[in-house]
Amino acid sequence: MEDIVLFEGDGIGPEITKEVIRILDCAGLKFNYHPYLIGQRAYEKYGVLIPDEAIEAIKKYKVALKAPVTTPIGKGFRSVNVGLRLALDLYINLRPSRSYPNTLARYNDVDLVIFRENTEDLYTGKEYEIDGGFEAIKTITEKASRRIIEAAFSYAIKHNRLHVTCVHKANIMKKTDGLFLNLFNEISKNYPTVSIDDKIIDNMCMQMVMNPSQFDIIVTPNLYGDILSDLAAGLTGGLGLVPGANIGTDAAIFEAVHGSAPDIAGKNIANPIALLLSSCLMLDHLGYINEAKKIRTAVYNTLNDGTILTKDLGGTASTTEIADKIISYL
């Protein structure tokens, strides 16, 4: 039996986690879950957002499933998500986005995967006071850039993806983004069956809005990846449908990337699909390929049916009702 660290999170986290575990159980996946608190609930109980025991549990069991958590804003706290990624060196942020029927998607033919470098860039949080303001340090290293680019190309080969796009701002940031782009071009030569191109970040945003289906795999430094991931989610029906994974050499956290939505917490109206699809990425990671495929098919069939949809998808169904519908297709 697999050991999984479980973060139920804040706000709507516990209720969507409950339904996801129920669906996994109905799919025959009986895991040994180890629950820990992080985020707002951890702060209220322990006085810290990420207790040491939570980090040690991930190091021990290697895999975690994480619902959204709350980080207090404007009080000097580092993001819980950023803290976890840096503490565990989870250098890959994997964000697939695809179109589903009967949702609020702007396009019906999107199927792209974003590989976002997850440990450096402006997210190191190195900010300093200067005369008249502040400055932030943008860090781009060969090591971090090389491993995220390699991960993107390896994924392309493994999943029969044909094209990788590098996103950068090397026309302005010639040293930092220039390093990332040069490494991309160098590494691409080792993958002759995969075609490539590169786009400047501002043009990339425009191209994604105009014609997102032209993109297959996107690899990019941290900040641009954060922006493009949410843009892709907006084009394909919102964050309630988008899974996420943070993967390193020794550990991985699979998470819904939407917020904890405290305004609707406890009302049984939150959409559990993003966390469920994140659990499918976890299943892929653990080798449960067929089970992940069955769950994804059940999600697709539920959305294609269109009679049971949560409010964010244009319907009126409850969290429990849409989970029941997915289970019926399993």
Q: What is the count of structural domains for the chain?
A: 2
Domain end marker among 174, 209, 235: 235
pLDDT at residue 75, as a whole number: 57
Same domain, 221 and 248: no
Establish whether 250 is a catalytic residue: no
Same domain, 218 and 118: yes
Per-residue confidence band for 76, with pLDDT thresholds at 50, 70 and 90: low
Cα distance between residue 96 and residue 218, in whole Å: 10
Question: pTM value?
Answer: 0.93
Contacts 24+ apart (CB under 8 A), 105-111: 105/235, 105/236, 105/237, 106/234, 106/235, 106/236, 107/212, 107/213, 107/235, 107/236, 109/213, 110/212, 110/213, 110/232, 110/235, 110/236, 111/213, 111/216
pLDDT at residue 210, as a whole number: 96
180 within 8 A of 222, measured Cβ to Cβ: no
Same domain, 226 and 291: no
**Mean pLDDT of all residues in 309-323:** 95
Q: Which residue of the set 36, 43, 91, 123 is catalytic?
A: 123
User: For 121-165, how does the pLDDT look when each residue is reduced to its tens digit (9 = 90+)?
Assistant: 998 888 999 999 999 999 999 999 999 999 999 999 999 999 999
- Residue 100 lies inside a defined structural domain of this protein: no
Q: Which residue of the set 59, 202, 267, 293 is catalytic?
A: 202
Q: Which residue of the set 198, 226, 284, 312 is catalytic?
A: 226
Q: Which residue of the set 169, 198, 284, 325 is catalytic?
A: 169
* DSSP state at residue 279: H
Helix (H, G, I), strand (E, B) or coil at 328: helix
- Residue 168 lies inside a defined structural domain of this protein: yes
Same domain, 221 and 246: no
Establish whether 263 is a catalytic residue: no
Same domain, 17 and 118: no
Q: What are phi and psi of 97, to 5 degrees?
A: -135, 130
Residue 301 structural domain: 1-94+239-330
Same domain, 281 and 253: yes
Pairing of strands 217-220, 163-168: parallel
Cα distance between residue 140 and residue 143, in whole Å: 9
- Residue 301 lies inside a defined structural domain of this protein: yes
User: For 214-236, how does the pLDDT look when each residue is reduced to its tens digit (9 = 90+)?
Assistant: 999 999 999 999 999 999 999 99
How many residues are given for the chain? 330
pLDDT at residue 73 is higher than 80 = no
**Any idea which residue has 């697999």 for tokens?**
2
Establish whether 202 is a catalytic residue: yes
Domain end marker among 204, 219, 235: 235
**Mean pLDDT of all residues in 71-97:** 84
Per-residue confidence band for 80, with pLDDT thresholds at 50, 70 and 90: confident
pLDDT at residue 286, as a whole number: 97
268 within 8 A of 318, measured Cβ to Cβ: yes
Same domain, 15 and 34: yes
- Residue 290 lies inside a defined structural domain of this protein: yes
Same domain, 217 and 134: yes
Instruction: For the chain, give the mean pLDDT.
Output: 94
114 within 8 A of 97, measured Cβ to Cβ: yes
pLDDT at residue 82, as a whole number: 85
**Mean pLDDT of all residues in 47-69:** 95
Sequence-ordered strand ranges (E) for 189-330: 195-200, 217-220, 243-247, 252-256
User: For 162-221, how does the pLDDT look when each residue is reduced to its tens digit (9 = 90+)?
Assistant: 999 999 999 999 999 999 999 999 999 999 999 999 999 999 999 999 999 999 999 999
- Residue 173 lies inside a defined structural domain of this protein: yes
16 within 8 A of 44, measured Cβ to Cβ: no
The CATH number assigned to the domain holding 175 equals: 3.40.718.10
Same domain, 49 and 7: yes
- Residue 99 lies inside a defined structural domain of this protein: no
Same domain, 168 and 280: no
**Mean pLDDT of all residues in 4-30:** 96
Same domain, 167 and 201: yes
Establish whether 226 is a catalytic residue: yes
